[in-house]
Each structure stands twice: as C-alpha cells, then as structure tokens.
Structure 1
Amino acid sequence: MTAEAAGAPRTDLSDLVRQRMQELGLSFRTLADACIDPENPEDGPLWRRSTIDALSKGQRIKAPDFPQLRALAAGLRVPIWQVQEAAGSQFLHIDTVWSADGRVRALVEGFREMSREDQDKVMALMESRRQVRQR
C-alpha cells in the first residue's frame, strides 16, 4: 500500500514552494510580496507570509483559488500549469498523467493510488485517444 493510499497527506505544492524558494534564495516575505496575479496586478500580493510558511511546512491551508495560483506561479517564476498540477494533486488528489510521448495529458483522480493494472488501463486509454486524434 502506498503512502497516499494509507491516508498520508500529499505535499506536491508544498514541495514545489520549498524547492523553488531554495533555488531562488527567497524568504517567505520576499515570496509573499512577489505573489501578484499578473492578470490583476492592482490587487497586490495575494499570499501572506504566514500562509506560505504554513504551506511550505506541509501544514493544512485553505485550497488556493485560481488568481492565487497565478500569483504563486509568478512569485515562484514557474509556468502556471506546474502550480496547477501540484495544487490539484495536493488539494484534490487529481493527478496529471502524461502519455509516453508527452503529447496526451489526462487528469485522473487518485491515479497514484490505483493498482498498476488500473494505471496501465488509463495509459492504454490515453494511447488510444492519441491514435484517434492523429487520424
């Protein structure tokens, strides 16, 4: 049984935040100040230092909304899809699964917790969709 199946919390977004903060040499305050939604900069920073601190430690926080995800992506200097995937996994247990060639993507609830057999079925379905789209 995997850690996820045993009920261990997921920390994908928390891990991303810690990793990028370390890579960029950011403090919690600096990151919070940089978390401005590029589509609505007049709203100012959308994250508080204390919330980023809690998130980075894997503590429970309220799931962020889409403007907050855009703001966090800007602050972390990563593409929005990377933050969306991490947040979807951590807060909703929705896994982004890519085909072997990287051309087909599926959002699958609980993919990590599935048996290997069921994961293979999802991958086969994705492959069949890729073949249909190429015709």
Structure 2
Amino acid sequence: MTEQGRRTEFSDLLRQRRADLGLSLREMELRSVDPGSGAQAKFGWLSKVENGKPVDAPKEELLKALEAGYRIPLDELRAAAAAQFFGLDVAGASSGVWSGDRTLRIIVAHAGEMTEEDRQELAEIAEVMARRRAQRNGPGQGKSDD
C-alpha cells in the first residue's frame, strides 16, 4: 500500500489530531472506546494507520471509538475513511476544499448536533468576529487574510 498516489486522508487526520492533542498512541488507545459497543482502537492498528501501513478499513464501531478518543466528528471520520480506503470524495472531504486546517468541516459537522438556539448563538459569535475583523482592517480593506 505504499504505491505512488495512495490516499492518506484518514491517516493524516488521525496523525494531525493526535499531535494537536499532544497525546501518545498509548493514550489514544485508552481514550478510543466506543461507548455503545465497547469496541476499542488498539495501539497496533493506530500505529499502522499513522505510519501508512496496510490496514483494513475501519468498521462503524471503530469509527465511533475514534470519535470518542480523538474528538473528531463521526461524519469527518467517515469522509476521510471513504477517501483513503475507497477513493470516494464525500461532500468536500478532500483536503483544502473548505479550509486547510479542517476547521470549517468540523464546525459544520457539529452544527448538525446543535439545537436551534446553539446555532443562533454560534451565528452571533461569527457576526461579532466579522465586525471586529472589519474594525481591525479599517473601511474598504475587505476580508482579512487570517
């Protein structure tokens, strides 16, 4: 599975998220347990995924375990797994389609879990941030690069 052109979306997602959290693979193994089924992401499998070694595509229970451990929305995990293991691009799952650092996809994925009140509050936060950015940039400056 090291042939040229092999997709790595799922591996990259897990590796980057673990780095963001500052945790070891052993810590991720302990955290990555599906609360419903008890399925656990094992150290050896996690290590192989992060290092680009051949592994079977994760089943739903394993994705739920990863959701719990890595705190990545299930839909984002599904999309990255579909891209890497099956060559499918799911609604903008390709790197950089929304944002290079995944933040927009994460916000959208979590929005589906929010109440109407939560979404309204998030929209208000976005409005405040937009006003602050406009004030920093001054009139006629347009969008910020940040």
Asked if Structure 1 and Structure 2 have the same fold, meaning a TM-score greater than 0.5 normalized by the shorter chain, the answer is yes
Q: Does 1:37 align with 2:31?
A: no
TM-score normalized by structure 2?
0.58
Q: Which has the higher strand share?
A: 1
TM-score normalized by structure 1?
0.62
Letter in 2 for 1:91: F
Task: Supply the distance in 2 between the matched residues of 1:25 and 1:87 (Cα, whole angstroms).
Answer: 23
Letter in 2 for 1:46: Q
Letter in 2 for 1:63: A
Task: Supply the distance in 2 between the matched residues of 1:13 and 1:29 (Cα, whole angstroms).
Answer: 19
2:59 to 60, 65, 70: 65
Letter in 1 for 2:61: P
Q: Per-residue deviation at 1:38?
A: 2.4
Q: Does 1:84 align with 2:84?
A: no
Map 1:1-135 → 2, pairs under 5 A:
8-40=5-37, 43=38, 46-98=40-92
CA-atom RMSD in angstroms: 2.1
Letter in 2 for 1:79: P
| SS of corresponding position for 1:94 | coil
The C-alpha deviation readout for 1:84-131, integer Å capped at 9, x for no partner, is: 010010111110134x9x9xxxxxxxxxxxxxxxxxxxxxxxxxxxxx
Aligned length: 92
Task: Supply the distance in 2 between the matched residues of 1:97 and 1:84 (Cα, whole angstroms).
Answer: 11
Percent of aligned positions that are identical: 33
Q: Per-residue deviation at 1:7?
A: 5.3
Q: Per-residue deviation at 1:52?
A: 0.5
